[in-house]
Amino acid sequence: MRFSESLQKLDRRYIYIVVALAVIIPLIFPLGLKTYTTTPVEDLYRHIDAIAGRDDKAILIDFYHDPSVMPELYPMEIALIRHCFIRKIKLFTISFWPTGAPIIEMALSEVKEDFPDIKANVDYCNFGFKPNALTIPIILGMGDDIAKAVETNSEGSKLEDLPIMKNIKNYDNIQIVMQISGSTSGYLWYTYARPRFGVDVGVGVTAVMAADTYPFLQTGQLLGSMGGLKGAAEYEKLVDIFAMKGLDYSKKKARDIAWGSKQYSLSNIPYKYKKARIGMDAQAVVHVLIILFIVIGNIGYFLDKRAEKRKYVK
């Protein structure tokens, strides 16, 4: 059998085995490939980090998704929560999906394990699940009074009685609303809250939705975005390099020090805080492998066609 024919008739089961190994091996033994950060993610980090330690500012994360998209979106949420806990940034969470409420609880609990000093309703507050029919009334109502619009937290306590609400009144005290979603890109927030109250909006979306955010980034309707596992990996890295070291990203000297240092090691970072970067290792290997298979397949195809043509000519 000619080489070109053997390429065309290669048992596809071998291909599946090679692809499976290409996914599994980097997950077990991380390669530590370098993660390059992009402007939309850097803008989010810088804007959120600007309110570190402030008592009159907070961020709100809208968990607008179900478990089906957690592999891409959950690392974003973990990175955002970790950033807030490290830098003493007040955090509010909410979900207009019933399936989003337990994801909030899981994410907060997972990060809080490493921050025993962080207290519920003092440093962060989970608004919990609010019916989808109340989305617009709550979004608009928060522009006047957050405590009156949301009313209670996930435990049924009145917001106006909670310590975290001290110096927090309305959108003037919300640095940014982050919607993490697998189906929309924050359109309710930048359609209703931003034009009327001027609140900044950012999003975290699945990779297939990332391209949809760019027109809104260009018009300024979105301040920044995280796209898929790559966006999550970038935010993880920014938290490790700047937040963990207490460096102010807005200052050029701090950036020069951080980016000028040698490539950081992932070995001493808990798995939950590097999950996206490890996933990107596997994704990068598989992408290269698939491209290689395509190139080899095309070479085999054209060699086979050339051999057939020569046979007919003779």
Mean pLDDT score, 157-172? 95
Task: Identify whether 54 is part of a domain.
Answer: yes
The helix (run of H) or strand (run of E) holding residue 202 is strand 201-205
Q: Same domain for 222 and 256?
A: yes
User: Which residues constitute the domain of residue 215?
Assistant: 39-262
pLDDT tens by residue, 252-276 = 766 776 676 655 667 788 889 999 9
Distances (CA, A) of 36 to 70, 95, 245, 287: 23, 31, 19, 17
Q: Same domain for 279 and 194?
A: no
Task: Identify whether 229 is part of a domain.
Answer: yes
Closest CA to 36 of 204, 235, 206: 235
The mean pLDDT value of the chain amounts to 90
Task: Identify whether 135 is part of a domain.
Answer: yes
- CA-angle at 250, arms to 247 and 254, nearest 5°: 40
pLDDT at 244 over 90: no
Phi-psi region of 126 (alpha: psi -120 to 50; beta: other; left: phi over 0): beta
How is the beta sheet containing 58-64 ordered, strand by strand? 124-129, 90-95, 58-64, 174-181, 201-205, 224-227
Task: Identify whether 269 is part of a domain.
Answer: no
Q: Same domain for 190 and 96?
A: yes
CB 223 within 8 A of CB 176: yes
Task: Identify whether 267 is part of a domain.
Answer: no
The pLDDT of residue 263 is 57
The pLDDT of residue 100 is 94
**What residues have CB less than 8 Å from 179, skipping those under 6 apart?**
61, 62, 64, 185, 186, 189, 201, 202, 203, 204
The pLDDT of residue 48 is 97
Task: Identify whether 226 is part of a domain.
Answer: yes
The conformation of residue 122, written as its DSSP 8-state character, comes to T
Give CA–CA dist 202/225, Å, rounded.
Answer: 6
Q: Same domain for 124 and 206?
A: yes
Task: Identify whether 268 is part of a domain.
Answer: no
pLDDT tens by residue, 26-52 = 888 888 888 889 999 999 999 999 999
Task: Identify whether 109 is part of a domain.
Answer: yes
CATH number at residue 134: 3.40.50
The pLDDT of residue 265 is 65
Q: Same domain for 93 and 171?
A: yes
Give the count of beta carbons closer than 10 Å to the beta carbon of residue 117: 9
The pLDDT of residue 183 is 83
CB 124 within 8 A of CB 157: no
Q: Same domain for 101 and 237?
A: yes
Looking at the structure of the chain, the number of domains it has is 2
The helix (run of H) or strand (run of E) holding residue 112 is helix 100-112
Q: Same domain for 173 and 208?
A: yes
Q: Same domain for 186 and 54?
A: yes
Q: Same domain for 131 and 11?
A: no
